[in-house]
Homo-oligomer: A and B are copies of this chain.
Amino acid sequence: MAPDDAPAAASGYVQPEIDVEALARLLEGEYAKVRDLVRSNLVAHACVLEDAERLEREAFRERVRDIAVEMAGTGQTGMGFPAAYGGGDDIGASVAAFETLAFGDLSVLIKVGVQFGLFGGAILQLGTARHHDAYLADLVAGRLLGCFAMTESGHGSNVQALGTVARYDAEAGEFVVTTEGEGARKDYIGNAARHAELAVVFAQLEVGGQARGVHALVVPLRSGGQVVEGVEIEDDGLKMGLNGVDNGRIRFHGVRVPREALLNRFADVTPDGTYVSSIDNPNRRFFTMLGTLVQGRVCIGGAGVNIAKVALTLAVRYATRRRQFEASPGGREQLLLDYGLHQRRLLPLLARTYALHFAQDTVRGQLHDVFSGRDDSPDARRRLEARAAGMKALGTWHATRTVQEGREACGGAGYLAVNRFAALKADSDVFTTFEGDNHVLLQLVAKGLLTDHASEFEDLDQLGVVRYVTGLAVETVIEKTSAHKLLERVRDLLPGGEEWDQEAGLRDPEYQLAMLRFREEHMLAGLARRLKAGVDRGRDPGAVFSSVQDHVIALAHAHVERLVLESFVDAYKDRPEGGNKVALGLLCDLYALSTIEADRAWFMEHGRLTVQRSKAISREVGDLCRKVRPLAVDLVDAWGVPPEMLRSPDLLG
């Protein structure tokens, strides 16, 4: 019994018993079967975790390729493709498979992501039957490897400004692909340095001398293992991690591809050189194309959550085994997790991991609904894209933070490669950057909120947003989010009268939700006002946006944290009574209150927390940590990280 259980016990609190198997079933949800398949594949190839340390880089790249191809053979990696090409026709399952793969070596994960998610996804989503028929069956089977050549040395976040050009030569009926300038070389492209035979290349399309914006084409890189003429490939060299993935740089020196190489779902060029598209607005066309690739973000965010699970499984289990310093004179040394500070370090992260898990269920479900056509509308797509962007940012930052805290919580042992943190840290570090830099993604989320009621503006760039918001429609946002209206809406939720934020129980989910909703709407209104005021004062819109950028990020953060809490509450509130529900309730409260606590300065500054209540929330967080403490091992075990993926013989042994 932890010495700190005393106050909880004294208050008549009865500690819940967790049914780990039932909890695991709840977490696995409808995708238990594919997750089991991935787990067994992970275990079958468990030695890749050691290969990552043992093998030379080139050998390790081959090993990772081989594993990815072998996994393809089990059907694991093709879940999202049409059955006609050997796929599973189930996009939700494909995301669940990817998430589960994140329990293992992350080079394998990213190799799979590059081949089946980015390359395969681009062919599937941007191409048409001719491309599907030509490539998908081989691609899904892992016989045809390819890469996704979007990012350039000069442009990562601002993809519309890419420098690679594809000019249509009507006479030859071909596109000529050229790297124009050093900044236009493709860079960090996974699969490029060694294995890709084809590339989906994003380039500025020029037809009849007219610039048509960024489009994607299939360009051959290798034939029979040899790089084809006109293509120049350079290895990106050693990276912080993910060294089983062969990232490289590509230059195109007037490479000619047939007209049919254009992935022409949204735009095409006729043989005589006429540009045609079903979408008139070039900006909207570009974002529509990009939007079809949203699955990548959903996958990476979910992978981040599962990386955090691996780190916490290690740190929590070590902390219930490792003792240091006596708790009472002459007594036995105390377990790390019985220290209040250690609980404070790990258990809010555990609660947040549960919260993000359920929020990931939501966004995966939305993705499935949109892409299966179950609920595909412009509105649904926009909601999905915003949520995917936000979840990718929060999930991957959560991974970075949790891996770091977990390593430190395991002390020097955490530094040994055999104990997993080395690979977790090095491999997952770039997750906050690829598939969209997190800060850029959060700006996208905020943009969506600012322009919520004007779907025709969904494809605005940063300046467009400023102009839009400072135009007529800003009044709508400001009005809609006026303090008065805000409080009215909150009162509808919490019928406690004027003093809802002072009287409600801290552990009332309605109170917690009301707080997060209030924060979000208040930030949205404030941001809109700031943008408008800046432009009204005659300042340059770029400067105005730059000066409020921290508010933009804060708003997006607040929005996603609110969505996460809603998913968590929805996930457990209707569960049958019992220990599992009680435990999930504790975790949900811990997530909600530690989230409010972390931003309590804002709530005080905006009149929604008194000093007394702010302190009470901190006390409640401490108390919740003490209550979660005895459940911690069950809670991490329910995630079902295969023991083979944990290694760490000394740390857990």
Q: Determine the chain B residues whose CB is within 8 A of the CB of A7 once the complex forms.
A: 547
- Which of A11-19, A433-441, A582-590 lies at the interface with chain B? A433-441
Q: Mark A2-30, 1 if CB is under 8 A from B, else 0.
A: 01101100000000000000000000000
**Does chain B have a CB within 8 A of A320?**
no
Q: Are A324 and B463 in contact (CB under 8 A)?
A: no
CA distance A328 to B408 in the complex (A): 44
Q: Determine the chain B residues whose CB is within 8 A of the CB of A333 once the complex forms.
A: 158, 161
Q: Mark A324-351, 1 if CB is under 8 A from B, else 0.
A: 1111110101100011110010000000
Q: Which of A606-622 contact B (CB under 8 A)?
A: 606-607, 611, 614-615, 622
**Does chain B have a CB within 8 A of A421?**
yes
Q: List the B residue with the shortest CB-CB distance to A544.
A: B3
**Does chain B have a CB within 8 A of A540?**
yes
Q: Are B605 and A543 in contact (CB under 8 A)?
A: no
Q: Determine the chain B residues whose CB is within 8 A of the CB of A601 once the complex forms.
A: 600-601, 604, 614
Q: Are A239 and B604 in contact (CB under 8 A)?
A: no
Q: Are B422 and A426 in contact (CB under 8 A)?
A: yes
CB distance from A416 to the nearest CB of B (A): 6
Q: Which of A135-194 contact B (CB under 8 A)?
A: 151, 153, 155-158, 161, 187-188
Q: Are A155 and B324 in contact (CB under 8 A)?
A: yes
Q: Are B236 and A416 in contact (CB under 8 A)?
A: yes
Q: Which of B328, B542, B605 contacts A327 (CB 8 A)?
A: B542
CA distance A155 to B411 in the complex (A): 11
CB distance from A249 to the nearest CB of B (A): 10
**Does chain B have a CB within 8 A of A53?**
yes
CB distance from A435 to the nearest CB of B (A): 11
Q: Are B542 and A328 in contact (CB under 8 A)?
A: yes
CA distance A404 to B430 in the complex (A): 10
Q: Mark A300-331, 1 if CB is under 8 A from B, else 0.
A: 00000000000000000000000011111101
Would you call the interface of chain A mostly helix, strand, loop, or mixed? helix
**Does chain B have a CB within 8 A of A381?**
no
Q: Determine the chain B residues whose CB is within 8 A of the CB of A437 once the complex forms.
A: 408, 411
Q: Mark A445-466, 1 if CB is under 8 A from B, else 0.
A: 0000000000000000111000
Q: List the B residue with the shortest CB-CB distance to A437.
A: B411
**Does chain B have a CB within 8 A of A407?**
yes
Q: Which of B240, B326, B412, B548 contacts A426 (CB 8 A)?
A: B240
Q: Mark A67-101, 1 if CB is under 8 A from B, else 0.
A: 00000000000000000000000000000000000
Q: Which of B157, B407, B412, B605 contacts A324 (CB 8 A)?
A: B157
Q: Determine the chain B residues whose CB is within 8 A of the CB of A433 once the complex forms.
A: 408, 411-412, 414-415
Q: Are B463 and A326 in contact (CB under 8 A)?
A: yes
Q: Are B3 and A542 in contact (CB under 8 A)?
A: yes
Q: Are A539 and B156 in contact (CB under 8 A)?
A: no
**Does chain B have a CB within 8 A of A280?**
no
**Does chain B have a CB within 8 A of A541?**
yes
Q: Are A240 and B340 in contact (CB under 8 A)?
A: no
Q: Which of B6, B425, B543, B650 contacts A539 (CB 8 A)?
A: B6
**Does chain B have a CB within 8 A of A37?**
no
Q: Determine the chain B residues whose CB is within 8 A of the CB of A344 once the complex forms.
A: 549-550
**Does chain B have a CB within 8 A of A553?**
yes
Q: List the B residue with the shortest CB-CB distance to A404.
A: B400
Q: List the B residue with the shortest CB-CB distance to A407.
A: B429
CA distance A206 to B329 in the complex (A): 21
Q: Determine the chain B residues whose CB is within 8 A of the CB of A416 once the complex forms.
A: 236-240
Q: Determine the chain B residues whose CB is within 8 A of the CB of A605 once the complex forms.
A: 604, 611, 614-615
CB distance from A400 to the nearest CB of B (A): 7
**Does chain B have a CB within 8 A of A481?**
no
CB distance from A196 to the nearest CB of B (A): 18
Q: Are B547 and A4 in contact (CB under 8 A)?
A: yes
Also in contact, A417 and B326, with CB within 8 A (given A411-B156, A611-B604)? no
**Does chain B have a CB within 8 A of A277?**
no
Q: List the B residue with the shortest CB-CB distance to A238.
A: B417
**Does chain B have a CB within 8 A of A418?**
yes
CB distance from A281 to the nearest CB of B (A): 16
Also in contact, A541 and B463, with CB within 8 A (given A158-B333, A425-B240, A433-B408)? no
Q: Are B240 and A422 in contact (CB under 8 A)?
A: yes
CB distance from A339 to the nearest CB of B (A): 5
CB distance from A60 to the nearest CB of B (A): 13
Q: Are A547 and B151 in contact (CB under 8 A)?
A: no
Most buried by B among A433, A463, A548: A433
CB distance from A30 to the nearest CB of B (A): 35
Q: Are B425 and A429 in contact (CB under 8 A)?
A: yes
CA distance A425 to B155 in the complex (A): 25
Q: Determine the chain B residues whose CB is within 8 A of the CB of A622 once the complex forms.
A: 547, 550
CB distance from A92 to the nearest CB of B (A): 29
CA distance A541 to B328 in the complex (A): 7
Q: Are B463 and A546 in contact (CB under 8 A)?
A: no
**Does chain B have a CB within 8 A of A470?**
no
Q: Are B237 and A327 in contact (CB under 8 A)?
A: no
Most buried by B among A155, A188, A600, A605: A605
CA distance A214 to B404 in the complex (A): 32
Q: What 5 pairs across the A-B complex have the smallest Cβ distances?
A: A327-B542, A240-B422, A3-B543, A341-B549, A238-B417
A–B pairs, 22, beta carbons within 8 Å: A3-B543, A6-B543, A157-B325, A188-B415, A237-B417, A239-B415, A239-B422, A240-B415, A240-B422, A325-B461, A327-B540, A329-B463, A339-B546, A407-B429, A408-B433, A411-B437, A425-B426, A426-B426, A601-B604, A604-B605, A605-B611, A605-B615
Not counting A4-B547, A425-B425, a sample of 4 additional A-B residue pairs whose C-beta atoms are within 8 angstroms of each other reads A156-B412, A239-B416, A326-B463, A411-B433
